Structure 1
Amino acid sequence: MASTTPCLALLFVLGIWAFQVSSRSIPEASMSDKFEQWMASYGRVYQDAFEKDKRFQIFKENVEYIESRNAGHTAKKYKLGVNEFTDLTNEEFKSMRNGYKMQRSTIVASSKTSSFRYENVTAVPSSMDWRSKGAVTNIKDQGQCGCCWAFSAVAAMEGITKLKTGNLVSLSEQELVDCDINGEDEGCSGGLMDDAFEFIISNKGLTTESSYPYQGVDGTCNKKAAANHAAQITGYEDVPSNSESALLKAVANQPVSVAIDAGGADFQNYKSGVFTGECGTSLDHGVTAVGYGEDDDGTKYWLVKNSWGTSWGEDGYIRMQRDIDAEEGLCGIAMEASYPTA
């Protein structure tokens, strides 16, 4: 029996060595493996092999872009990452997910006031997060419908409703998509938050999400479902344009609808951190500023609620750099901001 002990010891050592060698020889998952894993994670199924191969090539290019951007910008304050949009080209992504119409000058607004109620505010908190105050509903997903404008307006209305009544109610974007069709707003084909506020006022309110659920497509106005108004607003105001300081005063007091340029590849693939660009000022997406703060390294940011689901960004949110040199703010966030009143 004693003679078997050295043999067992040798086998044990050889086993460890073999495991270490085999571990080192296992290659990193190939791009095709990553794609298959990604498809399984997001339940993606393609109509045929041609479509799958096309999407794989786009996925591969996006992953390579993400990895090169993350590796090549070590000082960058944000990271990119794979999400449910990684099989889309940037043009496809923008056409599906954006939809803000940069046409403020054409609006005939009967309920908008020229005043700015927060103009004389002299002190604001150093940070604000309306989520922690119960004034923000869960992240929603607009799907392949360019009605970001509806989600932005509804989020701002949900916020002011909570502040005025004490109740947080999830309101219906689909009612806006289906029923607000006589002006600039065109459902999945785009619209404006200010026009949405106009409709809500003339309509004497909005119903709940549960009463008029979101479908992600243009539909016929369900007047019966829309008849039970769950919340109302009395008007709305525009934040003075191109002033981050004015926007700060507004966001310190309530969630605010903002328009941004969200067309860049970095925005599509944003994962975490304080976003510092790249973007311009061609406003194409409606979102909601629900707070602000300062990162650990001192970088100031806006806390922005998006409507692209929770796989995008920081569980559906993005922190965008605040107090930059350009008066319009990063991605034009201070250009066309507005909020409802109640």
Structure 2
Amino acid sequence: MWASVAVLCLAMAAANSQEIPKAPSMYYASGTISLPYAEIVEPYEAYIDGVGDRSRIDTYGGLASQYQLGHAPGPYGSISKVVYETTETVVNKRACLQVNGSAGGPVHFQPVLPRNLDQFVFTGEVQAGERFCTKTGLASSACNVFTYEASQLGRTNTYTLYLRQTTDFQPVAFHYLGFNRLFGSHYDEYVVTYERFVSHNSTSFPGKVFVPEALVAPCTGFPDNSASVTRPTGVFSRLHTMDEPDVDEIEKSFSDFKAKHGKVYTSDKEHFERSRIYRANHHYVESMNRRKLTYRMKLNHLADLTSGERRMMRGRKRSAESISPPGAQVFKPANANVQIPEAHDWRIAGAVTPVKDQAICGSCWSFSTTGAIESAYFLKYGKQVLLSQQNLMDCSWGYGNNACDGGLQYEAYEWIVKHAGIATAESYGPYLMQDGKCHKVRTPLVTIKSYAHTAPSNVSDAILALLQQPLAVSIDASHQSFGFYSHGVYYEPECGNQPMDLDHAVLAVGFGTLGGEDYWIVKNSWSTHWGNDGFVLMSRKDNNCGVATDATLVHL
């Protein structure tokens, strides 16, 4: 009996002392990068030459390629990105952007495996099909598990590598989990899978695989000189900085974000939660911008808000009745045979007032309503007027509106007609970003005679109406992609365009075409920090997101 126990103990000791196999310096890998909390699964292909200090990582089937060359073109190396650029004048033009390293920030290759595997210790094994030890093709053997933990300032970062139980080095998955012991929750997590892994030698890579100019030439500088060359970028940077778990580019970016937008948090716990949300959104925007989209995204002042807080800013009440409000007239174009121009922009004429900020309050319906009336006022009287959203929020409850908890434009129109006008922002008082008390003002009031709606979901009818004046419209803005729109033509394949899909009220101020993509020009009320100075170009294709579903205009 004692002999059996001794043998068992020796076997366990041998297993626990197992050393991690030596990884090749040159290899090809392909698989996915997933960020569970951000709902991102991003395919990648990687060509790694550790001997020559060079790497290339393609994502989304080559939609974006990043090269990190340690000795080219100069002694400090360079980072090059081959991407599809979308600007205000071109859509999806392939470009090579390059930034050179320096003595203080040299560039080195970016691995898709941890650089220093000597830090990992054997912690057990899992059977094929369990945990991250997936079955791929004929490879169905169990996996050995190797783990490295790094702790600093109350945080423990755990790095786990799963290797197939074979004679050669065959990685299956790499799991990273950042955990904050103080608050008892994780703040970052990702999984890298290796669905294919092949060792290489110096002659087995394709000849120009590390030459970005082979895809597009010439390589130029980054437009805003903002690219960092001091550290690798993206998820794989964690493989480079395991010995510095509390210092990374996202934390630096979060510090800049707080300073820029004056963010102040009430406690360490809130600061931690906001930084975690920011990190998730940072990963999301980076991943989305590597796709071949007709628009680009960027982090903005909303980047530390929860999805629930962002939802509070979409205050258009879902209602099937709003496409046929009881007091509305049916829009009839003055000239149905008018020649439709390629583009029209009411901002150029001065008919659009400045972008405002509704803050975290579902009052978008009041901004859409006042925006339509302000534009109609300019077109009739030749001068701008700023109307009071707070007046509508405080006083139109009897018509179905609920201030920060949502409303509809036509209910606001009905109230304005009944009460002989709406107050100016100056006469009523400032916008409070919350519910207030209704109070009357004597003058000045801006009155409307009536309002009209275009044919539901009829893009052509909405264009004819928009040629006359800006339109109050409703959209489906529920998708995360809309929250971080930057520029280009926004198209969201998951967007709804039925009346019950619409959850946000905005103002359509023009239309046009960019790179073959027809768009609406839409004014939002999320400040000039959002979108393109507060505006978004929304695709007209198939009435995406419902811009033409529920469009109204006012008559003064």
Q: TM-score, normalised by structure 2?
A: 0.55
Partner SS state of residue 426, structure 2: coil
- Distance in 2 (CA, whole Å) between partners of 1:301 and 1:107 is 22
Checking the alignment, whether the CA contact within 8 Å between 2:368 and 2:507 is kept in structure 1 is yes
Checking the alignment, whether the CA contact within 8 Å between 1:107 and 1:195 is kept in structure 2 is no
Distance 1:142 1:294, change over 3 A: same
- Distance in 2 (CA, whole Å) between partners of 1:222 and 1:298 is 50
The aligned counterpart of 2:131 is: none
The residue identity in structure 1 corresponding to 2:455 is: P
Larger radius of gyration: 2
- Distance in 1 (CA, whole Å) between partners of 2:469 and 2:330 is 18
Cα deviation 1:13-47 (Å, max 9, x = unaligned) = xxx98x93322173366211111110011000111
The residue identity in structure 1 corresponding to 2:523 is: K
- Distance in 2 (CA, whole Å) between partners of 1:241 and 1:48 is 48
- Asked if 1:200 is matched to 2:416, the reply is yes
Q: Given the alignment, which residue of 81, 84, 87 partners 2:301? A: 84
Tell me the matched-pair count: 316
Q: Given the alignment, which residue of 433, 444, 452 partners 1:216? A: 433
Checking the alignment, whether the CA contact within 8 Å between 1:306 and 1:316 is kept in structure 2 is yes
Q: Given the alignment, which residue of 425, 438, 450 partners 1:235? A: 450
Q: Given the alignment, which residue of 520, 529, 551 partners 1:302? A: 520
Cα offset for 1:268?
0.6
Cα deviation 1:183-226 (Å, max 9, x = unaligned) = 221111100011111111112111211222211110001213xx
Aligned ranges 1:137-216 → 2 under 5 Å: 137-212=353-428, 213-216=430-433
Cα deviation 1:117-154 (Å, max 9, x = unaligned) = 45735323321111111111000000111010000010
Checking the alignment, whether the CA contact within 8 Å between 2:323 and 2:550 is kept in structure 1 is no
Distance 1:216 1:119, change over 3 A: farther
Distance 1:217 1:202, change over 3 A: same
Cα deviation 1:280-316 (Å, max 9, x = unaligned) = 2310000000001111x12111000000000110000
Of 187-196 and 205-214, more deviation after overlay is shown by: 205-214
Q: Given the alignment, which residue of 493, 506, 509 partners 1:290? A: 509
- Distance in 2 (CA, whole Å) between partners of 1:280 and 1:107 is 15
Q: Given the alignment, which residue of 101, 106, 114 partners 1:24? A: 106
Partner SS state of residue 487, structure 2: strand
Tell me how large the CA RMSD over aligned residues is.
2.0
Q: Given the alignment, which residue of 304, 319, 327 partners 2:537? A: 319
Checking the alignment, whether the CA contact within 8 Å between 2:474 and 2:506 is kept in structure 1 is yes
The aligned counterpart of 2:18 is: none
- Asked if 1:330 is matched to 2:551, the reply is no
- Distance in 1 (CA, whole Å) between partners of 2:469 and 2:378 is 10
Checking the alignment, whether the CA contact within 8 Å between 2:472 and 2:505 is kept in structure 1 is yes
Q: Given the alignment, which residue of 267, 289, 311 partners 1:48? A: 267
Cα offset for 1:111?
3.7
Structure 2 unaligned spans of 5+: 1-74, 77-100, 108-229, 233-247
Identity of aligned residues (%): 35
The aligned counterpart of 2:496 is: 280
The aligned counterpart of 2:115 is: none
Partner SS state of residue 301, structure 1: strand
Distance 1:36 1:167, change over 3 A: same
Higher share in strand = 2
The residue identity in structure 1 corresponding to 2:517 is: T
- Distance in 1 (CA, whole Å) between partners of 2:321 and 2:335 is 22
Of 22-31 and 54-63, more deviation after overlay is shown by: 22-31
Of 113-122 and 165-174, more deviation after overlay is shown by: 113-122
The aligned counterpart of 1:58 is: 277
Checking the alignment, whether the CA contact within 8 Å between 2:346 and 2:509 is kept in structure 1 is yes
The aligned counterpart of 2:84 is: none
The aligned counterpart of 2:555 is: 341
Runs of 4+ that moved beyond 6 A:
none
Cα deviation 1:89-109 (Å, max 9, x = unaligned) = 3232112x1010122427995
Cα offset for 1:249?
0.3
